[in-house]
């Protein structure tokens, strides 16, 4: 096992230098972030979406030597998980990305014009115009625009059902969660969800809208979730299984 850092055994995980490291495993050199959490009872290890890095959360006072030993104990698990994860795919002409669950080939055309999705006898394509260097951003902008239209309508539908209003709706590119609901009634969604099938998009919106009434994940919350989206269990399982692949797509 090779680490991208050299530290004295007494060094602690809360040392600023320990927050941005590298760890070599399964033939990859991955960014490693180590952070303390006051409520953590044990060390936990997480692979970031698309195998873009590793994060270790530790209880207060854990030394870097203990972190190294923890990673060594979990090396076989890491290698097994990383072996099935492809390198981060990048948006470019010829690549296929899903839009509402349907794979679309990205086609670049010169000249001005709006980005548009086309489905005909030749298949499904996303036509992107403009300068080639701006293509990834234009694809992301297209997904954001679609998210605002579709998610906005779903929020209006589900909030009308439960008799609650959302204060604001925001669209972000988050890697740790697909959506959130604050105690003030602010809803946030990852625009990447537009790559998921329509029922999964509906489930995500229903999930966050249900939090306007129940700020927890208790039985009443899940009952309301299933009332808003009867396919909740299947869609939740789909997102858990496939969400990482959507988060891994690069739009840089």
Looking at residue 1, its pLDDT comes to 36
Band the pLDDT of 250: cuts 50, 70, 90: confident
**C-alpha separations of 247 from 28, 108, 145 in Å:** 19, 23, 18
- The answer to whether 209 and 162 are in contact (CB under 8 A) is yes
Is 50 exceeded by the pLDDT of residue 7? Answer: no
Looking at residue 6, its pLDDT comes to 34
Of the ranges 74-88, 95-109, 133-147, 193-207, which one carries the lowest mean pLDDT score?
74-88
pTM value is: 0.71
Is 80 exceeded by the pLDDT of residue 10? Answer: no
Rounded mean pLDDT of the chain? 88
CA neighbor of 208 nearest in space, from 188, 232, 192: 188
96-248 carries CATH number 3.30.2010.10: yes
CA neighbor of 248 nearest in space, from 106, 95, 118: 95
Looking at residue 3, its pLDDT comes to 37
* Residue 168, CB-side half-sphere exposure with 13 Å CA sphere: 8
**C-alpha separations of 152 from 145, 146, 238 in Å:** 11, 10, 22
- Per-residue pLDDT of 60-81, as tens digits, reads 999 999 999 999 999 998 988 8
Is 50 exceeded by the pLDDT of residue 218? Answer: yes
Looking at residue 128, its pLDDT comes to 96
Stretch 116-142: mean pLDDT:
93
- The answer to whether 195 and 248 are in contact (CB under 8 A) is no
Query: Cα separation of 7 and 9, whole Å?
Result: 6
Looking at residue 88, its pLDDT comes to 62
- Per-residue pLDDT of 139-188, as tens digits, reads 999 999 999 999 999 999 999 999 999 999 999 998 768 999 999 999 99
Looking at residue 2, its pLDDT comes to 37
Please name every residue paired with 55 in a beta bridge, in sequence order, or none if there are none.
Answer: 33, 46
Q: Where in the chain is the domain with CATH 3.30.2010.10?
A: 96-248
Looking at residue 11, its pLDDT comes to 52
Looking at residue 107, its pLDDT comes to 95
- Percentage of the chain beyond pLDDT 70 is 88
- The answer to whether 168 and 207 are in contact (CB under 8 A) is no
Is 50 exceeded by the pLDDT of residue 84? Answer: yes
């Amino acid at each position: 096992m090779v680490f991208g850092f050299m530290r004295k055994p007494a060094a602690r995980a809360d040392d600023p230098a320990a927050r941005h490291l590298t760890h070599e495993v399964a033939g990859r050199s991955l960014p490693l972030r180590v952070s303390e959490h006051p409520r953590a009872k044990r060390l936990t290890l997480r692979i970031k979406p698309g195998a873009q890095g590793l994060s270790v959360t530790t209880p207060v006072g854990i030394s870097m030597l203990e972190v190294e030993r923890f990673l060594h104990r979990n090396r076989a698990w890491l290698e097994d998980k990383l072996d099935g994860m492809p390198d981060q795919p990048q948006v470019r002409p010829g690549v296929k990305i899903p839009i509402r669950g349907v794979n679309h080939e990205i086609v670049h055309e010169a000249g001005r014009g709006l980005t548009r999705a086309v489905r005909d006898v030749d298949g499904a394509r996303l036509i992107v115009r403009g300068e080639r260097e701006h293509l990834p951003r234009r694809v992301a902008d297209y997904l954001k625009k679609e998210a605002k239209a579709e998610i906005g309508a779903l929020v209006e539908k589900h909030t009308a059902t439960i008799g609650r209003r959302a204060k604001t709706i925001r669209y972000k590119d988050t890697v740790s969660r697909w959506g959130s609901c604050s105690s003030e009634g602010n809803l946030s969604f990852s625009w990447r969800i537009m790559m998921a099938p329509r029922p999964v998009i509906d489930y995500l919106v229903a999930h966050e809208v249900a939090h306007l009434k129940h700020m927890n994940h208790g039985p009443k919350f899940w009952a309301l979730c299933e009332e808003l989206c009867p396919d909740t269990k299947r869609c939740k399982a789909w997102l858990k299984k496939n969400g990482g692949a959507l988060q891994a797509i690069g739009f840089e």
